[in-house]
Amino acid sequence: MHAAILVLLLAIFLLSACSGGPAAPLDMTALNPGHDHGKIAAFYRHEAVVSRQQAEELTHRAVVYEWLFGRESEWVTGTRLLAQFYEEAAREEEQLASRHLELLSDGLAPSPPTRSLGH
């Protein structure tokens, strides 16, 4: 009985995680990469929303797992850790979106990464 419920919950989780639609591509022919900061910021904002939704779903699942398997279950602990991961990812994505919006408002493009030549 519990195995069937677990398989069903896992299938629902996997299907919901794979249902995101494609994002608009960046303009790869632009002469000034700074023009894409708005699109990049929108992408990161969207990803933050998706990450927060995943964290919320996982938090609800942890409650169900606690009811099914008990508070000390590895299912509960693992699901809560995964929810924390998605929450942290959402915060990082929001910070990246803010950085790109700042670059857009300043009219600046990020400097290319420098590489040490080993001298």
pLDDT in tens, the chain (119 residues): 566 665 556 666 655 555 555 555 655 445 465 668 888 889 999 999 999 999 999 999 999 999 999 999 999 999 999 999 999 999 999 999 999 888 888 765 554 444 445 54
DSSP string for residues in 67-104: HHH-TT-HHHHHHHHHHHHHHHHHHHHHHHHHHHHHHH
pTM over 0.75: no
DSSP3 helix / strand / coil % (the chain, rounded to 5): 70, 0, 30
First to last CA, the chain: 65
* Residue 12, helix vs strand vs coil: helix
Q: Helix, strand, or coil here: 6?
A: helix
